[in-house]
Amino acid sequence: MDVLNNVAIEPAQLNLLIKSRRSVFPKQFVPGKHIPDEIVMQVLENANWAPNHKNTEPWRFSVFTNEGLKKFASFQAEMYKKNAGDRFKDMVYEKLLATPLLASHIISIGMKRSIEVSIPEFEEIAAVAAAVQNIYLSTAVYGIGGYWTTGGTTFDEEAKEFFGLAKEDKLLGFFYLGYVETPSVAGKRRPIEDKTVWVRE
C-alpha cells in the first residue's frame, strides 16, 4: 500500500480505475434519470485539482441541466442554422435540438487565458485537458457515464460569450453526463512497449 499525503491508496485500485475509464454516449444514457447535482459538483471539484502551471487554474465550466438543457440545445441549433449557409441540413439541426435532452447534465469546457501570468497557450489547454481526465475518472467511480465532445458550437467564436468566455479564451467542447443504460465495450490499447523508449546509459 502506498501512502500519498496521508491517504492510503492501493495501486491495483488505481490501475483498475484508470483502465475502467470509458466514453459513454447520450444514446447509452438512461432516459430521464437525473444525476444529483451534489455528485456533479464533486466531479467538478475533482477536476479543480488538475495540475496546472503557475496555479493559473484555467478551466471554466458552465453546467446545464433541467430546463437549461433546452436552452443549451436551442442555442447550438440556432447557431448552426445561422452559420451553416449552403451546408445546412435538417437532420443536423434536429440532432442538435434532441441530443442534449438525453443527458442529465452538460458541462461546457472552457479555457480562461491567463493575463497576469505569461504562460504558453498550449500549457493552459493541457491543464484543462487534465481537468477533463479527472472528470472522466470520477464518472467511473460514481457509476455514471459521460463523454467529451468537440462538436456543436465548439469552434464558433460567437459562441464564447454564451458560455462566459472572453475573446482571448477558448471553448474546448462539452462533457455530457448521464446514468448508463448500455455498458461500453471493453477497452483495449496497443502495448505500451510499442510507444516507449528507455534510455539507461
Over its C-alpha atoms, the chain yields an Rg (Å, rounded) of 19
pLDDT digits (tens, 9 = 90+) for 126-144: 999 999 999 999 999 999 9
Q: How far, in Å, CA of 107 to CA of 162, rounded?
A: 13
Cell of 86: 449552403
Distances in Å between the Cα of 6 and the Cα atoms of 1, 2, 14 are 12, 9, 16
pLDDT digits (tens, 9 = 90+) for 100-124: 999 999 999 999 998 877 899 999 9
Residues paired with 61 in a beta bridge: 109
Residue 1: per-residue pLDDT:
45
Residue 126: per-residue pLDDT:
98
Of the pLDDT bands very low, low, confident and very high (cuts 50, 70, 90), residue 87 is very high
Residue 18: per-residue pLDDT:
92
Burial 70-99 (b: 16+ CB within 10 A, else e): eebbebbbebbeeeeeeeeeeeebebbbeb
Which domains does the chain carry? 24-181 (3.40.109.10)
